[in-house]
Amino acid sequence: WSLGFPQVTAGATVLGPHLGDLPDILNYDDIEDSRKQEILNQIPASGSSLDVDVRAPLVTLQNRNFALGVAYGFLGSHSVDRDVVDLFFNGYTTGRRDYTVQNTRGSRATFWDFAAAYGRSVGPVSVGATGHYYLGRGLVQTRAFAPTYFPLGTDVQVEYVGVGADGGHGFGLDVGAAMEPVPGLTLSAAVANVASSMTWSDDRTGRRIVLTNADFQAQDFQSVLDRYDESEQDLGTTPTGRFAEVAQGLTDDTDFPTTLRLGAAFALPGGLTTVSGQYQDNLTEGRLSGSWDRLLGLGVQQRLGFLTARVGLSSDLDDANIVGGGLTLGPVDLGLAKFTNGKVDDASRNGWMASFGLSVRARRL
């Protein structure tokens, strides 16, 4: 049997600024005006965005042909207009009436994944299936609305509204097969969520905050977050007004897509070096898949005594790629990768992905 806990993979990408700029952006009251302007200059005219993807198999247990697992997932995305950042950094410019906020919006999904798997050999082929029970924890959409300007341009109001569905459930079925046609070469194919369904609660909750120049001048982002959180209210099944506008499309395409995965691995003579390739393609639509619909990856793994090292390159077959590596030392597994995910208005989308895992294996005497 083998036991793994925890195993966490987390990735984040930012358009324009770098991930290292986020602490200064969130603590903007402590930075100099020159630093604020430097950050503003990095934000494209259409705004910046942050995408976060966390997958955490917290516990996995395998005994012979059977395996059980519990994992947590978090998918979040938020875009923000450059004018909104300017308001927080510098406050409202008296008389100005052309602030742009329509691209300031976000979404978030959190869920648990309880899985049970069975595999066995049928002749030269190993086959397996995994059943999933998905427990949705939350589904959220937010957006800012066009500013309202006071007479004579003395002040501004910006309304930010969020709507959420608290809870959901669903299922999924994965199937796969692998074989070794010649010594050292392993070929595999799998389809994740070949059958699946995800249903979210019809009950809605809402949050709302209206910001004025007093809030922007106070430069206390934490108090803004606190007021927003404290505004939570039950909306029932039929939100009205601004809440109804934000709720539109909340549960659309909130499924796990059917995903084809093909793989090949070849162990070079001696068994210390393995070269592998992977192709992945989403066959159906689904917002719970992460940021890439397609992936082609190549990697090399080298065993060095009690240490195993890995390097690899992946591409979405367009303008995005990941370059990374990892180390396995006994029960500890570490990984780090660099994202480059295309450009918008000459600004790059870049970020990092990190992974950590622990595993214990034992043999029955």
| Residues 230-265: tens digit of each pLDDT | 999 999 999 999 999 999 999 998 999 999 999 999
C-alpha torsion sign, points 314, 320, 323, 326: negative
Mean pLDDT of the chain: 93
Domain boundaries, the chain: 2-361
pLDDT digits (tens, 9 = 90+) for 138-151: 999 999 999 999 98
Give the span between the Cα atoms of 25 and 179, in whole angstroms: 51
- Tokens encoding 250: 């909340």
Cα→Cα distances 278→95, 274, 340, Å: 56, 13, 19
Which residues lie below 8 Å from residue 344, measured CB to CB, with a gap of 6+?
Answer: 15, 44, 46
Query: Residue 176's closest CA among 99, 235, 262?
Result: 262
On the question of pLDDT at 364 being above 60, the answer is no
Q: Which helix (H) or strand (E) holds 247?
A: helix 241-247
Do the beta carbons of residue 337 and residue 13 sit within 8 Å?
no
Q: What is the pTM of this model?
A: 0.90
Determine the pLDDT at residue 363. 52
pLDDT digits (tens, 9 = 90+) for 289-320: 877 899 999 999 999 988 999 999 999 998 89
Angle at 41 between CA 316 and CA 148, to 5 degrees: 100
As a CATH number, domain 2-361 is 2.40.160
Do the beta carbons of residue 164 and residue 205 sit within 8 Å?
yes
Q: Residue 195's beta-bridge partner residues?
A: 173
Which residues lie below 8 Å from residue 26, measured CB to CB, with a gap of 6+?
Answer: 221
Give the span between the Cα atoms of 64 and 132, in whole angstroms: 19
pLDDT digits (tens, 9 = 90+) for 214-229: 999 998 999 999 999 9
Question: What is the rounded end-to-end Cα distance, in angstroms, of the chain?
Answer: 12
pLDDT band at 344 (very low <50, low <70, confident <90, very high): confident
On the question of pLDDT at 47 being above 90, the answer is yes
Give the span between the Cα atoms of 168 and 164, in whole angstroms: 11
